[in-house]
Every structure is written in C-alpha cells, then in structure tokens.
Amino acid sequence: MGLTDIQGLSGFNTSRVTDMSFMFRGCINMSSLDVSEFDTGNVTDMNNMFSVCRKLENLSLLKWDTSKVTKLDDIFALCNSLDSLQMHTWNTSNVTSVNSMFYDCNKIEYLNLSSLDLEKVTDASSVADMFTGCSSLNRVYIPIHNSQNISLPGDAWYQPDGTVITVLPQNKDTSFLIEKGRVPGRNETDGGITWSIDGNGRLTVTGTGDLTGAERDYVNGKGVEAIPWNDYREQILSAEIDVKGMTNASYLFGGCENMVSIKMDGFETANITSMKGMFVGCSSLTSLDLSKFNTEKVTSMYSMFDGCSSLTSLDLSCFNTEKVTDMAGMFAGCYSLAELKLGSFKTGEVTDMFMMFVDCKSLTDLDLHHFHTGK
C-alpha cells in the first residue's frame, strides 16, 4: 500500500468496535500513527493490527483499555523500524494467544511487558515465534504467569540474581528486568558515580560528583536524558546513597514507584542547587528522614515530593529555603500526608507556588503564617 499518513484518527469513535484485527496491516510506508485516543474497551481481537507496518517507528498505546482482548497474535509482526513501544499499562488478563507478537521487530531494544499476563495462554502454539527475529532486543521486563517455553533471541540472558536463561522465566507473579549478555544493574558507572541493583531490589549509589547531564527526567522518550537506573525503576525496592559533591539531584529517585525505603546518611547535599522532582512518583514511600539535608544552595524544589501518595508525615523543619524560587507542585498528590512540618520556610524568593499542596487530602492543619508571597 502507498499510504503514508492518516488524518483525523483522533476523532474516530471506536467505542463500539469489537474487532481491530488487520486494521493497519501492510501500511509499509507509514512512519507515524497516532491511535493513542482510540476507545478499545470493547475490542476482543487485535491480531495483525499493525503487522507489516515496516516504517512505523513508535507507538504510544498507554491509554488503551485491553481488558477484553483475547488475541494479540502478530500485532506488531514485521514492524522492522519500531524502536519505541509503550504498552505497559495494558490489562491483558483475558489474552489467550501472543503467537509471533513481536516477530522480526529487529530494531527494538527494550520491551516493558510487565503488564502482559499470560495465565490464559495454555499451549505452545499460542506463543510460537514471539521474539523470533528481534535481533536488537537486549532488555525485557518479563510477562507474568507465563507457563510456556518462550525462547529469547540471541545468546545468554541474565536475571537480576545472575541466573543465566535462554527462555522467559516461568510462573512469576511479578515482573522483573532481564538483560542479554549481562546481569541487570550490576556495578554501573556514570561519571564519578557507581551504582548497582542487587537481587533483592536494593539500589546502591556511591561516588563523587554529578550524574551525566545537567537536566534529567525519569520519563522515557526521545530527546530526554534519563537517570541511569531509569530502565530498572520497577525492580528498585530500596535504596542507599553515599555520594559527595553532587550539585544536581533532579529526579534522582523519580518514578521509583515500588521503592519503600531510602537510606541517605552518607549523602552530602551542601552543593546541590536543584532538587526538582527528586522523589516524584515514589508512591510506595511511607516515610523519609531528611534531617541531615543541607539545602542552603537549592533554588528549585519543583515537584520534589509530587505523587508520594503513601507518605503520612514529613518533617522539613531543617530545610533552608532562602534561595528557592520554585515550589510549584512540591507536595502535589501527597494524598496520605497528615502531618507536614515546614519549620520556618523562607519563601521571599519564591515566584511559583502553583499547585503546591494540590490533592493533599489528609492535611487538616497547615501553618503558613511565615510565608512571604510578595514575588
């Protein structure tokens, strides 16, 4: 087919559609396709939906409701240019077949299949050639409840505990990262920083100086430089940081949604100027001890605790905020926060407090009498 572009898909009403199989199959010249707003709540069949879209480079399908889908056979087969695929929010509890799902997707390097539930896939023919031809694939968050022998492409793969595997791990209730040719997250370096993640999900960070890049974001995407353990966030359950001389702590633990504790006794913060998004999205943290933080040089605390929905109390009475200019969204989404000690926060330089306490539903008392909002 000579089709290179489709206009108006955002206005498609697909709420009653039950079958999207073969919908875009063979659109070999189409390099982009925005179907992110498709209503897929009633769809049961997606087999071959994007197959042989040879020039298609990326797909964001995070908003899709796939709870009724049973067939995902060949859905991305022969998408030879596909290098970015976001589907880790899918509900796949009814899927029965994933045969050749990623067949010959030879450019894609990373797949997050943590939401792919294979419990109802009960025979080998339904998983045949799932990764056949995926020659560039080197990192996979595994599907859960897999009972079949699904071959991995290339040479030996490793689990976080160092176990060598050649097929997808079986009968796992939770997803974890596996890598080709190396143990995931072991003794990595970034500038003067060394970090590793052990088999128990403990992130250890040591060294001196900054991580590579002046600005980082925990969200994956083209043109976005991520923290080095960005691809391992789901497996991080705890962290210990012993770093000196860091100046930029932006998004340091951003998106570590399964992390329940952080030890920061050896973390020197005296030179840090940005704590933007430092703990954003750490939704499993129930407590934080920041009593040793030196924040006298910090200018940005934007979204610092945004999305820390399990925190019940937070004592920031030691914080020096004289130089801070941005506190927007600092405590946004801290649903469980019932006690917040701000001490004598100095806000004379702050120019942005937009949504600073939005959705702090458990806060019943907050003393802001010392806040200066002149700027």
Q: Are residues 126 and 193 in the same domain?
A: no
We report the CATH number of the domain holding residue 73 as 3.80.10
Please give the Cα distance from 289 to 343 (Å, whole number).
15
**Nearest residue to 257 (alpha-carbon basis) of 225, 224, 229, 235:** 235
Give this prediction's pTM: 0.68
How many structural domains are present in the chain?
A: 2
Q: Are residues 72 and 145 in the same domain?
A: yes
Q: Note the residue count of the chain.
A: 375
Q: Are residues 157 and 248 in the same domain?
A: no
Q: Are residues 32 and 80 in the same domain?
A: yes
Residue 151 sits at φ, ψ, to 5 deg, of: -70, 140
Please give the Cα distance from 276 to 250 (Å, whole number).
5
Q: Are residues 141 and 230 in the same domain?
A: no
Q: Are residues 26 and 140 in the same domain?
A: yes
Query: Do 293 and 268 contact (CB within 8 A), yes or no?
Result: no
Place of tokens 């031809």: 133
Please give the Cα distance from 124 to 83 (Å, whole number).
27
Among the candidates 133, 153, 184, a domain finishes at: 184
Which amino acid does the sequence have at 70? T
Among the candidates 125, 149, 184, a domain finishes at: 184
Q: Are residues 164 and 287 in the same domain?
A: no
Among the candidates 184, 204, 237, a domain finishes at: 184
Q: Are residues 60 and 144 in the same domain?
A: yes
Domain holding 336, by residue range, is 185-375
Please give the Cα distance from 307 to 222 (Å, whole number).
24
Please give the Cα distance from 359 to 336 (Å, whole number).
9
* 90's tokens: 């899918």
| pLDDT (tens place) for every residue of the chain, 375 residues total | 567 888 888 889 999 999 999 999 999 999 989 999 999 999 999 999 999 999 999 898 989 999 999 999 999 999 999 998 989 889 999 999 999 999 999 999 999 898 999 999 988 888 989 999 999 999 998 999 999 999 999 989 999 888 999 999 999 998 888 999 988 888 888 889 999 988 788 999 999 999 875 344 444 433 344 688 887 888 899 999 999 999 999 999 999 999 999 999 999 999 999 999 999 999 999 999 999 999 999 999 999 999 999 999 999 999 999 999 999 999 999 999 999 999 879 999 999 999 999 999 999 998 888 888 888
b/e 218-238 (16+ beta carbons within 10 angstroms → b)? beeeeeeebbbbbbbbbbbbb
